[in-house]
């Protein structure tokens, strides 16, 4: 597996593997954009309690993500190390998706907080059981530097299609439920049922179509969990990649969490059923859809540009643009829907790069680690990556809801179609959506500047790994009895 190969993946394999991001993105996008406002306006949970409930769920993930990653490294079956997880847990993952959006009718705030915490933990654990093995397949499917970017681009195509479908349709379904005299809870449950069921099929397809390449570089069964984590921490490129990945997604998760608040209570001045008149669609659907359509359309561009100038430089260019645009968004005033839409479309340029480039960078640090320690443990690295992805969401929702709670954010009464927030809460919504997001993204750009692996260094790593592999094969041929020990 270490050896650079000229073998190219079939187009169908890339498509089927990429479809796995439909499942993950449908889960994450609805949670990114709508879970915060769902907890405050539908569940009726105090924002500060809601933020603690989500944070406690992610603390549990600090345990289960690396453990499941390590477990997938050690599984041995005729189907490989990763694919059995997809077969066993695809259906439970879809059911856990629906569970996340059930709002009990309890009035006690503590009971509601416990309910949110437990459902968050259950659904996230089920997500871990499929997403970590799915991601760990990336470096096992191909070791080619540019083909990994292509494979990530296929994933991000499905990721952004799912994000577009959920971001546009979810507000429409919820608004339609309200207009028909039903509740927002019923609208959210319909959304969860549709996309939860659709999330099952891609993982089952991957199990039957995608194959892991054979490798002799499995870690020893004697490697302890603590030693594995210590080895990962000693991987310097991993530290940079993890910091970049985390800052990247904290920024975009914060923007995603706050954008419905920003659109509803600032730009639409509290009109809960605000529409974009030319299209007669909910304002949230139009703005989120515009961001994601641009992000989807530009995926080939970022794949091409990273092939020309490298992933790191392409990321720095895209995020510099993003920082400028987020600061510009702060100038949007109530009623300036067209101006806000134009800036959102431009932000989609950076959002596209944010989806593809950090994920394309990540597999390379595993090859660097293999060169250092002599074996591979993708599961642990992707367990850590999956945990970081969830942690970014928890940090974003914790910051957002804590600030809104302390600034006096109020949930609208049930059935209300017009509701205004206090001035302090409106200022908080603007600063969180635009200013803080821009500052965090600036930190991600600075981190990318110092990231140590470029194409030349990666190619050198591959040559050294190939040389080591040839020596192992020569030793095995020379001393066959010893190689079986």
In a domain, 479, yes or no: no
Instruction: Find the helix packing angle between 225-233 and 378-406, rounded to 10°.
Output: 80
**What is the pLDDT, as a whole number, of residue 417?**
76
pLDDT digits 0-9 by tens, 263-314: 999 999 988 888 888 888 888 889 988 888 898 889 889 989 988 888 889 9
Backbone angles phi, psi at 281, to 5 degrees: -125, 155
Residue 430 has pLDDT above 90, yes or no: yes
Using pLDDT thresholds of 50, 70 and 90, give the confidence band for residue 203: very high
**What is the pLDDT, as a whole number, of residue 5?**
42
- What is the C-alpha end-to-end distance of the chain, expressed in Å? 21
Using pLDDT thresholds of 50, 70 and 90, give the confidence band for residue 212: confident
Using pLDDT thresholds of 50, 70 and 90, give the confidence band for residue 114: very high
Residue 142 has pLDDT above 90, yes or no: no
Mean pLDDT of all residues in 204-225: 65
Residue 105 has pLDDT above 70, yes or no: yes
Mean pLDDT of all residues in 188-217: 84
In a domain, 118, yes or no: yes
Q: What is the pTM of this model?
A: 0.70
In a domain, 45, yes or no: yes
Lowest mean pLDDT among 51-55, 222-226, 440-444: 222-226
In a domain, 86, yes or no: yes
In a domain, 481, yes or no: no
Range of 286's domain?
Answer: 11-210+222-453
In a domain, 477, yes or no: no
Identify the residue with better confidence: 143 or 130.
130
Using pLDDT thresholds of 50, 70 and 90, give the confidence band for residue 2: very low
Residue 254 belongs to a domain with what CATH number? 1.20.1250.20
In a domain, 268, yes or no: yes
Residue 429 has pLDDT above 90, yes or no: yes
pLDDT digits 0-9 by tens, 455-470: 777 678 778 777 877 7
In a domain, 15, yes or no: yes
d(CA 428, CA 442): 20
Tally of domains in the chain: 1
Residue 481 has pLDDT above 80, yes or no: no
């Amino acid at each position: 597996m270490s050896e650079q190969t000229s073998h190219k993946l079939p187009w169908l394999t890339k498509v089927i593997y990429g479809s796995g991001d439909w499942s993950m993105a449908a889960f994450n996008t609805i949670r990114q954009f709508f879970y915060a406002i769902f907890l405050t306006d539908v569940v009726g949970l105090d924002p500060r309690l809601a933020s603690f409930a989500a944070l406690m769920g992610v603390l549990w993930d600090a345990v289960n993500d690396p453990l499941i990653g390590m477990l997938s490294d050690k599984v041995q079956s005729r189907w490989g190390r990763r694919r059995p997880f997809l077969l066993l847990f695809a259906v439970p993952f879809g059911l856990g998706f629906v569970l996340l959006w059930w709002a009990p009718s309890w009035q006690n705030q503590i009971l509601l907080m416990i309910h949110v915490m437990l459902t968050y933990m259950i659904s996230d654990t089920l997500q871990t059981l499929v997403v970590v093995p799915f991601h760990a397949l990336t470096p096992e499917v191909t070791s080619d530097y540019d083909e990994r970017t292509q494979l990530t681009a296929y994933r991000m195509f499905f990721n952004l299609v799912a994000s577009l479908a959920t971001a546009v349709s979810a507000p429409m379904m919820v608004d339609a439920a309200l207009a028909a005299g039903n509740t927002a809870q019923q609208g959210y449950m319909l959304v969860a049922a549709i996309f939860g069921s659709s999330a099952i099929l891609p993982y089952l397809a991957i199990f039957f179509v995608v194959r892991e390449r054979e490798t002799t570089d499995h870690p020893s069964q004697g490697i302890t969990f603590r030693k594995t984590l210590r080895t990962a921490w000693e991987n310097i490129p991993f530290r940079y990649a993890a910091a970049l990945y985390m800052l990247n997604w904290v920024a975009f998760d914060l923007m995603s969490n706050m954008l419905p608040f920003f659109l509803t209570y600032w730009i639409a001045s509290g009109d809960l059923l605000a529409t974009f008149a030319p299209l007669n669609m909910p304002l949230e659907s139009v703005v989120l859809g515009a961001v994601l359509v641009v992000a989807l359309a530009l995926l080939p561009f970022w794949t091409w540009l990273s092939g020309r100038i490298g992933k790191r430089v392409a990321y720095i260019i895209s995020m510099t643009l993003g920082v400028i645009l987020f600061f510009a968004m702060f100038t949007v005033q109530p009623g300036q829907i067209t101006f806000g839409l134009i800036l959102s479309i431009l932000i989609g340029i950076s959002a596209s790069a944010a989806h593809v480039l950090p994920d394309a960078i990540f597999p390379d640090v595993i090859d660097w680690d293999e060169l250092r320690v002599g074996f591979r443990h993708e599961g642990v690295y992707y367990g850590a990556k999956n945990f970081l992805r969830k942690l970014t969401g928890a940090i974003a929702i914790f910051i957002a809801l804590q600030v809104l709670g302390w600034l006096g954010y109020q949930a609208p009464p049930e059935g209300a179609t017009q509701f205004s927030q206090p001035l302090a809460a409106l200022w908080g919504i603007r600063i969180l959506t635009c200013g803080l997001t821009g500052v965090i993204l600036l930190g991600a750009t600075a981190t990318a500047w110092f990231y140590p692996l470029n194409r030349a260094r990666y190619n050198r790593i591959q040559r050294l790994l190939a040389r080591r592999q040839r020596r192992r094969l020569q030793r095995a041929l020379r001393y066959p009895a010893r190689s079986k020990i």
